[in-house]
Chain A
Amino acid sequence: MSQEEYFTRREFLKAASVLGLGSTVLSVLGLADLAFASTHPLQYFKAVRDTKSLTALEKEHLINIRLPAIAEDGANVPIVVSMGHPMERDHYIKSIQILNFRDPVVNKGIYYFTPANGEAYISTQIRMDGGDAEIFVIAECSKHGKWIASKKLKVSLGGC
C-alpha cells in the first residue's frame, strides 16, 4: 500500500472541518433530522414509525414498553416489555434486548425466549444514570429480523 492512499494530517483537518460545518448548516436550516439520521440507532433496524396506520406485519411486531415517565430512584427503574407476537414453532420472538446508550453499562440484559413461553414478555428492574434518557428495545423475530422501539423517561436521582 502506498503512502498516497492515507490522509495527511492537513487533509484530514480540512475534511473534518467541512463535515463539521456541513452538519451545523443542516441543523441551522432546520434539517437537524437529516444530520442526526446518520448516527441514530433506529435506522439500522425495522421500526414501526406511524402507530396510527399499522400494516398487519407492523401490528405483529409492535413493541410495548411500560416505563414510568419520571423515575424517582435510578437504582431501581421498573420496566415491562411485551409483544402481541405469535409464539409458534416456526415464527416466534427469539430475544428481547434492552439498551440505554447514555449509561456506563449500556446493555440492560438480553432475554431469550422459545415458543414454550407463549408470549414474549419480560418485567424487570434496571439501574440508570440520572437525567433525560431514552430506552431502546430490540426484539428479534425468527422470520422477520430485528425490530426496534424506544421510549423516553426522566430519572431524578442516578443509580449507577
Chain B
Amino acid sequence: MAEEYQFGQPKLRLPSTIQKGEVIEVKVKIKHPSRTGLRLVEDAKTPFERFVRERPAIYIKTVEVFYGAERISLFELNSSTSDDPLLAFKVRADREAPLKVVFTNNQGKRFEVTEQVRFRT
C-alpha cells in the first residue's frame, strides 16, 4: 500500500530583535512531500524504460515572498528539493509591514503564512 503524504501549515520565524534598516534572516518551513512519483525498474531493457510512473508527481513549485504589497522574492523549485524543506533567506527590514510567504505546489494548492515585521531593540 502506498504511503500517505503528510501536509502541514508553513511556519515563519523572524529574529527576536529587529532594528530599522537591518538585513534579517527569515526562516520558513513547511511539511510537504517532494516526489517525482516514478519508480526505478532495475532490469529495464532500454534506458527509456528505466522509470515508470507509479503515482502522480507532487512537489512545491513556487515560493513567493511578499513584504507589504511588494513581491520581493520568487523561488522556483521542483521535485529535487527535499521533503519538508526549511528555507532561509534575507530581507532588508526598512519598514514595519507584514511579511507573507506563499507556497504553491504542482497541483495548484496554496499554503501561506504571514508574520508582522516590528522594530524591537
Contacts and interface: CB of A to CB of B under 8 A. Distances in A.
Given A87-B92, A111-B75, 16 more contacts: A109-B76, A111-B74, A112-B73, A112-B74, A112-B75, A113-B72, A113-B73, A115-B92, A116-B70, A118-B23, A120-B90, A121-B89, A125-B81, A126-B80, A126-B81, A126-B82
A105 B76 contact: no
Interface of B: 23, 25, 34, 36, 51, 67, 70-83, 85-92, 94
A107 B86 contact: no
Contacts of B92: 87, 115-119
Contacts of B89: 111, 117, 121-123
Interface residues of A, number: 30
A114 B89 CA distance: 12
Contacts of B34: 127
Interface of A: 75-77, 80, 87, 103-105, 107-127, 159
The B contact surface, by secondary structure, is strand
Contacts of A119: 23, 90, 92
16 contacts: A76-B83, A80-B88, A103-B80, A109-B75, A109-B77, A111-B89, A114-B73, A117-B72, A118-B90, A121-B88, A122-B89, A123-B88, A124-B87, A125-B85, A125-B86, A127-B81
B80 A105 contact: yes
A109 B81 contact: yes
A87 B23 CA distance: 11
B87 to A, nearest CB: 5
Contact of B90 (A76, A117, A127): A117
Contacts of A75: 82-83
Nearest to B88: A123
